[in-house]
Each structure stands twice: as C-alpha cells, then as structure tokens.
Amino acid sequence: MNVAFMGNAFWLANTHDAFYAVTGAPRPAPYGINPGYNSFVGSELSVVAGYALTRFLQLEAGYGHFFTGKYIDQSLAGVGGSRDADYVYVQTSINF
C-alpha cells in the first residue's frame, strides 16, 4: 500500500490571463480576464492511497481540500461569494 500527502498552489500565468477548465477552455463568467484582480487561484491539500489488488489491478482512493485564493474570491464576490471545496474519489487501473 502506498500513501501520499500532497500540497499544491495555483496561480494564473499573469493577471491578463484567463482561468482555464480542464478542457483547456477559459472558464465562463463570472470568471474572466481581470487585470485588477490578484493572480492567486488557491491551494490544495490532499491524501492519496493506492493498493495493488493483483499484478494487473490497482485501486486508488483520495481526499482533497481546495482553499480558494484571492482571484476566486474576487471573481465570485458579486454572485454570493466563494467557498472552499472538498472532494473524494475512488478509481481502479487495469494494466494489460
């Protein structure tokens, strides 16, 4: 069994850049290019555990907490504000 603890921090490339989704497209409003906003998107702490069930089958589970940064706080201030986010996942990998 493997267990990993991770910490990540995220910034826009610069304040003239968009906040992109995993697809590579800019996120829709209320996010946008706002040169007057801070470029810090947020930080994340997570723990991931993996276990090899067989030589070909791996099971992995994880928990993460995302702390919003100034850019998200400023972007969502006009629509009710921002909140931190928690997520949990379980996945399998099959190697053949």
In a domain, 19, yes or no: yes
Classify residue 54: in a domain, yes or no.
Answer: no
For residue 47, name the pLDDT band (cuts at 50, 70, 90).
Answer: very high
Q: Is residue 20 part of a domain?
A: yes
Instruction: Please tell me the predicted confidence (pLDDT) of residue 87.
Output: 97
Q: Is residue 72 part of a domain?
A: yes
**Tens digits of per-residue pLDDT, 13-39?**
999 999 999 999 999 999 999 999 999
Does residue 6 lie within any of the structural domains? yes
Give the global pTM.
0.85
Domain count, the chain: 1
Q: Is residue 93 part of a domain?
A: no
What confidence tier does 49 reach under pLDDT thresholds 50, 70, 90? very high
pLDDT average, residue stretch 68-94:
97
The answer to whether position 33 is within a domain reads: yes
Q: Considering the domain boundaries, does residue 8 fall inside one?
A: yes
Give the domain extent around 28.
2-47+65-84
The three-state DSSP-derived secondary structure of the chain is CEEEEEEEEEECCCCCCCCECCCCCECCCCCCCCCCCCCEEEEEEEEEEEEECCCCEEEEEEEEEEEECHHHHHHHHHHCCCCCEEEEEEEEEECC
